[in-house]
Structure 1
Amino acid sequence: MKDKKVALVTGGTSGLGRSIVLEYANAGYVVGFCGRRKQEGEETLSLLQKQGGNGLFFKCDVTQSEAVRNFVEIIIEQYGHIDVAVNNAGISGVLKTTAEYPLDIFDSVMDVNLKGTFLSMQFELKQFLKQGHGGVIINVSSALGLRGKEKAGPYSMSKHGIIGLTKSAALEYGANGIRVIALCPGGIQTEMDDVFYANVPNPEEVKKERMKSYALGRMATPEEVAKTCVWLSGDGAAFITGAVIPVDGGKTAR
C-alpha cells in the first residue's frame, strides 16, 4: 500500500467531496478523507470499497487545529506519505444582505471555509516539506471567489480569501516542488440543488432561466469537477501552480 499514491480530502463525506474521494480512488490513489458527519463518512467509505478502492475515513472538524493534526497523522501512520491534498470542506451560510447577515453564521462561514483551509494547509505543507519530494494542494474555492452575488457576501468573501491564500502559498513553496492551486466550481448538480428547485414556484422556469448564465447551458456534475481535481494532480498539470481554475461552464466569462 505504501508504494501507492495517497490523496487527502477534507469535506469528503457528501456532494462534491464524495465525488472527489471516489474519483481519486478510481484513478488508483489510496484516499484518506474527513468530515464532521460520521454516518455519511462511513457511507462514502463503503462506496469507495465497493468500487475496489482503499482508504480511510476520519471524523474531523477542520476548524480545530488538533483535529486536523490528528487527521494528517493517522494518514501518515497508515500509508507513510501524502501526494495530494484537496481542501474541500466548506459551508454556504445563509442568503441575507450584508447589513442583515447574522454574525454567528458569518463566524461559522469564516471558520470553516477560511480557517479550515488555512489549518489544513499548515499541516499538509509541513508534511510535504518533511517528505522532501514536493506535492500538490488543491483548494476548492468557487465561482463566487471570482465575482459577487447578492445575499452571499460572506460566502463570496471566504472564497475570495481562499484564492489569496492559494496564490501566496504557491509563491512560498514553489521552490520546494509544491504546487498549490485554487479550483473554482460554478453550479453543481447535487441533491441539495434538487431540493432547492422543489421549494420554489415554477421550478422548471427558474431552472431554465438560471441555465442561461452558463455558456454550456447547464451546470456541472460533481464527477466533472472531481475529474478536474485528479487531472490537476497529475503530470499533465506539472507546470500549473498559483493558478485559479474555473470549472463553471463559462459562467464567469460573462
Structure 2
Amino acid sequence: MPALLEDKIALITGASSGIGRDTAIVMAAHGAKVVVAARREADLAETVAMIEAAGGTATYAVTDVSDGKQVERAVQHTVSTYGGLNAAFNNAGILEPNGHLHEVDDDDFDKIINVNLKGAFLSMKYEIGYMIDNGGGAIVNDSSYMGLKGGTGRQPAYTASKHGVIGLTKAAARDYARKGIRVNAVCPGVIDTTMMHGLDRGGDPATRAKMESWVPMNRYGEPSEVGQVVSFLCSDAASYVTGQAIPVDGGVTS
C-alpha cells in the first residue's frame, strides 16, 4: 500500500515546535516532501534534522506569516525546491495574556489577529494562487476548540481569531471546490505542547490534572495525533471532504 502522502509536496507553517513540528514529521513519514516555515531559524533547522534522521525529505523557509511578502516567498521556495505545492497546513498561531475582554490591550489584540487570522488568510492567498493554476490541492487550517465555542472566557482575542479561521476555511472551501482545491480546518483541544504550558502554569501537575479531568478522554492529546488527522485531510483518501472544522479534542466539544 502506498504511503498516504506519497509524491505530495507540503508546506507547514508554525513548524518550529508543537503541533506544527510534529505534523511535519508525520506528513514526511507518510511520504510527503515538506517545507517547514516559522520565525525561529534554529528551531526550523532542528525540525528538518528530525525529519531527515527519520528518513524523510525536508527543507525550511524562515517566515513571519503576518507579512505577505514572506509568505509568498515561502510558497515560491516550496515550488522552486520540490517542483510544486500539493498540500498545506496553516498552523502558525500565538496566545494572548489571560484576561477579560475589557482588559485586553489594543496592541495585543492586533498582534493576535495579525498572526492567527491574517496569517491564515495570507497563507491561503498565496497557496491557492499557486494551486488554482497547477492542478488543485488540499489546505488545512489550524483553528481550535475555541473556534467552535466561547473558549475559556480569558482568551477573547484568541477565541475571535480562531472563529475567524473557521469562517475563512468555509468561505475558501465553497469558493474553490470546483477548482480542485479542498480546504478544511482542525480544531485541537488540550494538546501537550509548550503553548499549552502557557495555560497550565508550565505543566504544573495539579493544574494539568485538573485540565485532564475536564477532557472526556482524561488526558492531553499528543501533537502527532493532530498531525495524523491533518495528513488524512491532505491526502487523496479525503477527496470528498471540504469546508469542515474537525475537532481533535478528546471529546471536549462532544
Once residues 195 and 161 of structure 2 are traced to their aligned partners in structure 1, the CA distance between those partners, rounded to angstroms, is 21
User: Match for residue 213 of structure 1?
Assistant: 214
Q: CA deviation at 1:4?
A: 2.5
CA offsets per residue over residues 24-47 of structure 1, 9 Å max, x none? 110010001110011111111111
Q: Please state whether the residue corresponding to 1:252 is helix, strand or coil.
A: coil
Give 1:143's aligned residue: 145
Amino acid at match of 2:224: E
- Measured in 2, the distance between the counterparts of 1:99 and 1:62 equals 27
3-state DSSP class of the match of 1:91?
coil
Q: 1:45 aligns with which of 45, 48, 53?
A: 48
The answer on whether the counterparts of 2:95 and 2:195 sit within 8 Å (CA) in structure 1 is: no
Structure 1 residue runs without a partner (length 5+)? none
1:197 Cα shift? 4.6
SS at match of 2:60: strand
Alignment check: 8 A CA contact 2:88 2:234 kept:
no
Residues 99-178 of structure 1 mapped to structure 2, 5 A cutoff? 99-131=102-134, 133-148=135-150, 149-178=152-181
Residues 51 and 104 (structure 1), Cα distance of their counterparts in 2 relative to 1, 3 Å cut: same
Question: Once structures 1 and 2 are overlaid, which stretch shifts more, 214-223 or 161-170?
Answer: 214-223
- Segments of structure 2 that go 5 or more residues without pairing to the other structure are 1-5
Match for residue 16 of structure 2 among 7, 13, 17: 13
Q: Distance in 1 between matches of 2:220 and 2:146?
A: 15
Q: 1:214 to 1:196 in 2, by over 3 A?
A: closer
Separation in structure 2 between the aligned mates of residue 11 and residue 199 of structure 1, nearest angstrom: 20
Match of 1:30 in 2: 33
What TM-score results when the alignment is normalised by the length of structure 1?
Answer: 0.93
How many percent of aligned residue pairs carry the same amino acid?
Answer: 38
Residue type of the partner of 1:219?
Y
Shift of 1:58: 0.7
Give, in angstroms, the shift of residue 195 of structure 1. 7.0
Give aligned pairs, total: 248
CA distance in 2 between partners of 1:199 and 1:227 (Å): 26
**Alignment partner, residue 240 of structure 1:** 241
TM (norm. structure 2) is 0.93
